[in-house]
A = this chain, B = another copy of it.
Amino acid sequence: MPQLCVSLNDVRRAAERIAPFAHRTPVLTCTGLDHIAEATLFFKCENFQKVGAFKFRGAMNAVARLSAAELARGVATHSSGNHAAALALAARMREAEAFIVMPANAPEVKKRAVAGYGATITFCEPTLEAREAALLQLLEERGCTPVHPYNHPDIIAGQGTAALELLEEFPDLDTVLAPVGGGGLLSGTAIASTELRRGARVFGAEPAGADDAFRSLAEGKILPSVAPCTIADGLLTALGELTFPILQERVEGIVRVGEEAIVQAMRLVWERMKILIEPSAAVPLAAVLQDQKLVRGERVGVILSGGNVDLDHLPWAGSELR
């Protein structure tokens, strides 16, 4: 068995490291959803985390490990999503500069959020090549430290702290589900869950329109995410070389769900639990509701990964008119 890049101890140390900065988020339950799912669901509410997403855990862990000299030169990433906001806030909390490469056509609301956390934004053309080139230039000019959104041991260990807290509070879960994009959250969740609870099953949940993780595990090699098409905009990326082997070893399977199921699950959480979650966060519940045999009668942990939605463009807007 190959040595994985992150151990339970790494996750525990990450938890200590981020404790002064991150929220220990609540675990909510909902009788109504339990009835629908025919299981007992424990929702780990990372929508209540700093910056509204689990991403703060990994970013804070990575930044907290930097030396004073590294902090003085700042950190950098290219991202237009929750990782950008997370790295910006984590850097600010350690009084370091954050340099974020964003495509010029990113939504204004995301630019404002990242700028609001005090980061310096470099705009580039909306291609992966342009983003990587702009990041490289920053690293060369400023000597700052790159913090990858998922393919990084400190990020994986940090994301695993959500499941660590969940299992500490509810040690007898049978199954834990998390969404999978690049695999940072899912691999951290898998390590924490399977180490803390022998026999626990961990599933990834993925949009059918961006099912590269499912296909990668089926083929035994990392496949690119080609033209992903899903409302779950946090789950578009391909797996990384560090996350893939963890999923191979520790994840029971990847469940794919359709777009309508994602929107329905998202709306169900809003209506029944009175909390905001983003589409990516609804994917695991969609997986549970799609195939009730999967976890029927079990005690199931569900990572609600984030709550950053554009309230002016909700996926059910105008749905009555259809």
Contact = CB atoms under 8 A, between A and B. Distances in A.
A270 B312 CA distance: 12
A86 interface: no
A47 interface: yes
A196 B305 CA distance: 39
B316 A314 contact: no
Interface residue tally on A, bucketed by range:
20 to 34
Contact of A267 (B52, B275, B311): B311
Interface in A274-307: 274-277, 307
Contacts of A314: 311, 314
A42 interface: no
B274 A48 contact: yes
A274 B52 contact: yes
User: For the complex formed by this chain, how many copies does it contain in all?
Assistant: 2
Contacts of A275: 274-276
Contact of A26 (B26, B277, B307, B317): B26
A56 to B, nearest CB: 13
A127 interface: no
B47 A311 contact: no
Contact of A271 (B48, B271, B274, B311): B311
A140 interface: no
A316 B311 contact: yes
A308 to B, nearest CB: 8
B307 A312 contact: no
A274 B319 contact: no
A219 interface: no
Interface string A8-50: 0000000000000000001000000000000000000001100
Contacts of A273: 48
Contact of A307 (B52, B274, B316, B320): B274
Contacts of A48: 273-274
Contacts of A276: 270, 274-276
A9 to B, nearest CB: 31
Contacts of A311: 267, 270-271, 314, 316
Nearest to A47: B274
A39 B1 CA distance: 55
Interface in A45-75: 47-48, 52
A145 to B, nearest CB: 27
Given A26-B26, A275-B276, 19 more contacts: A47-B274, A48-B273, A48-B274, A52-B274, A267-B311, A270-B311, A274-B275, A274-B276, A274-B277, A274-B307, A275-B275, A276-B276, A311-B316, A312-B316, A312-B317, A312-B319, A312-B320, A314-B314, A317-B317
Interface of A: 26, 47-48, 52, 267, 270-271, 273-277, 307, 311-312, 314, 316-317, 319-320
Closest 10 CB pairs of A and B: A274-B307, A274-B276, A47-B274, A312-B320, A275-B275, A48-B274, A274-B275, A270-B276, A52-B274, A311-B316
